[in-house]
């Protein structure tokens, strides 16, 4: 392995395209000058396309978790009741944030590795008439599940006036997202996943219905007060110092996505999911999720005859290949492969080849090349 050669295949942060790296290396500019306002004017309408909304997409310097907290502190008051759908570690994070603000939380827990059922959520919500918000995770990074967010708001609104608030951190930009059409009230994502950027920016969009709730809330915090960001974005500025270098990169990353075409971006992610899953199925290595629930951006593998952590150590040592481990009760039981953002089918084939050799070195008896061949066939059939 070459000393400086690393292959990053975790579900975030993800690799950064060379042109984005060059964009971020531009000389610094004044954050209150005309150049920054021009940059924001360039970025704003293109973020709308990614979110699928006519609403402003607010740009905040912070991590994805800052977006989850912003959604909570702006849209919900202490002692309000909320429903949090927990399908993994990041659904549980919504619970922790709400509890930190004295909000009364009703948890709807789903077995890790499975998506929630919108009909069950609707029936559960019938018995919670005082709930003011429903929190859900679009892609549950910890399990590789893509939840049916496109169905959630319609189901909720049949039985409740609760806001629908969604964590889209590990998939927006890599999967189809239609915030307005689907009726989502608040949608959050971060820069370090499908947007092909370093961590440091959070993006959040808010429906008119949610803005009515937010404006009536006197305790929106200070730094995360979304009204400040909306008012300043209308003037092509930000209330606090923006992460300018990442904004340079965002401008270029959006260019790349537009040139590829958003439908092609989403199709590429679907193809990479199918190639990855097909390879492990051919190698008879179990997957955590079924095909229907599986995310297009991250695949969770649950081996039953070799050690997941030992495998991760082997491929890191031999090839500089990084994949993620499990979280909480899945720690040591699964590994997770990120295939989002600056990642192509060619990258998937290379990754699978390295992992096959890692399986053999870990003691797994496989036919070398069988998984890669399965992925190759999926790629060729997809092209046809």
Task: Answer yes or no: is 2 within a domain.
Answer: no
Tokens standing for residue 330: 């899945």
Q: What is the pLDDT of residue 360?
A: 98
Owning domain of residue 300: 7-14+262-383
pLDDT digits (tens, 9 = 90+) for 222-275: 999 999 999 999 999 999 999 999 999 999 999 999 999 999 999 999 999 999
Task: Answer yes or no: is 74 within a domain.
Answer: yes
Q: Are residues 41 and 138 in the same domain?
A: yes
Q: Are residues 78 and 170 in the same domain?
A: yes
**What one-character-per-residue DSSP string does 326-382 give?**
--GGGTTT-EEEE--SS--HHHHHHHHHHHHHHHHHHT----TTHHHHHHHHHHHHH
Q: Are residues 310 and 285 in the same domain?
A: yes
Rounded CA separation 336/370 (Å): 20
Q: Are residues 187 and 277 in the same domain?
A: no
Kindly report the CATH number assigned to the domain that includes residue 200: 3.40.640.10
Q: Are residues 280 and 134 in the same domain?
A: no
List the chain pLDDT tens, one digit each, 384 residues. 788 899 999 999 999 999 999 999 999 999 999 999 999 999 999 999 999 999 999 999 999 999 999 999 999 999 999 999 999 999 999 999 999 999 999 999 999 999 999 999 999 999 999 999 999 999 999 999 999 999 999 999 999 999 999 999 999 999 999 999 999 999 999 999 999 999 999 999 999 999 999 999 999 999 999 999 999 999 999 999 999 999 999 999 999 999 999 999 999 999 999 999 999 999 999 999 999 999 999 999 999 999 999 999 999 999 999 999 999 999 999 999 999 999 999 999 999 999 999 999 999 999 999 999 999 999 999 977
Q: Are residues 181 and 290 in the same domain?
A: no
Q: Are residues 79 and 161 in the same domain?
A: yes
Task: Answer yes or no: is 52 within a domain.
Answer: yes
Q: Are residues 66 and 139 in the same domain?
A: yes
Q: What is the pLDDT of residue 105?
A: 98
Tokens standing for residue 88: 């993994």
Where does a domain end: 238, 258, 278? 258
Global pTM? Answer: 0.97
Q: Who contacts 318 (Cβ-Cβ below 8 Å, separation ≥6)?
A: 1, 354, 357, 358, 361
> Per the structure, how many domains does the chain have?
2
Where does a domain end: 258, 283, 311? 258
What does DSSP assign to residue 141? Answer: T
Q: Are residues 50 and 174 in the same domain?
A: yes
Q: Are residues 115 and 179 in the same domain?
A: yes
Where does a domain end: 258, 289, 318? 258
Taking a C-beta distance cutoff of 8 angstroms, is the pair 228, 239 a contact? Answer: yes
Count of helix runs (H) and strand runs (E) in the chain: 14, 14
């Amino acid at each position: 392995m070459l000393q400086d050669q690393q292959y990053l295949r975790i579900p975030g942060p993800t690799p950064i395209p060379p042109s984005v790296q060059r964009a971020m290396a531009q000389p610094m500019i004044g954050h209150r000058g005309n150049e920054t306002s021009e940059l924001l004017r360039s970025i704003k309408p293109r973020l709308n396309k990614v979110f699928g909304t006519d609403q402003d997409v607010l740009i905040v310097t912070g991590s994805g978790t800052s977006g989850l907290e912003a959604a909570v502190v702006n849209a919900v008051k202490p002692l309000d009741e909320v429903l949090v759908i927990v399908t993994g570690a990041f659904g549980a994070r919504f619970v922790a944030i709400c509890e930190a603000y004295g909000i009364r939380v009703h948890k709807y827990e789903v077995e890790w590795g499975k998506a929630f059922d919108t009909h069950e959520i609707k029936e559960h919500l019938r018995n919670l008439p005082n709930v003011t918000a429903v929190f859900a995770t679009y892609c549950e990074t910890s399990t590789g599940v893509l939840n049916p967010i496109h169905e959630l708001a319609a189901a909720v609104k049949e039985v409740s006036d609760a806001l629908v608030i969604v964590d889209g951190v590990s998939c927006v930009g890599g999967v189809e997202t239609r915030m307005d059409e689907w009726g989502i009230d608040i949608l959050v994502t971060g820069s370090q996943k499908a947007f092909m950027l370093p961590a440091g920016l959070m993006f959040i969009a808010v429906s008119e219905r949610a803005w009515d709730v937010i404006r009536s809330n006197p305790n929106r915090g200070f730094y995360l007060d979304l009204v400040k960001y909306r008012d300043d974005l209308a003037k092509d500025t930000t209330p606090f110092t923006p992460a300018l270098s990442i904004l340079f990169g965002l401008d270029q990353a959006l260019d790349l996505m537009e040139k590829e075409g958003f439908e092609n971006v989403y199709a590429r992610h679907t193809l990479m999911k199918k190639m990855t899953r097909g390879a492990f199925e051919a190698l008879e290595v179990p997957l955590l999720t079924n095909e229907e629930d599986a995310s297009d951006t991250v695949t969770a593998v649950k081996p039953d005859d070799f050690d997941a952590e030992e495998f991760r150590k082997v491929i890191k040592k031999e090839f500089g290949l990084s994949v993620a481990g499990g979280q909480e009760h899945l720690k040591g039981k699964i590994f997770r492969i990120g295939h989002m953002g600056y990642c192509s089918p060619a990258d998937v084939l290379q990754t699978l080849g390295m992992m096959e050799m890692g399986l053999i070195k870990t003691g797994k008896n496989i036919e070398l090349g069988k998984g890669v061949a399965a992925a190759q066939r999926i790629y060729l059939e997809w092209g046809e």
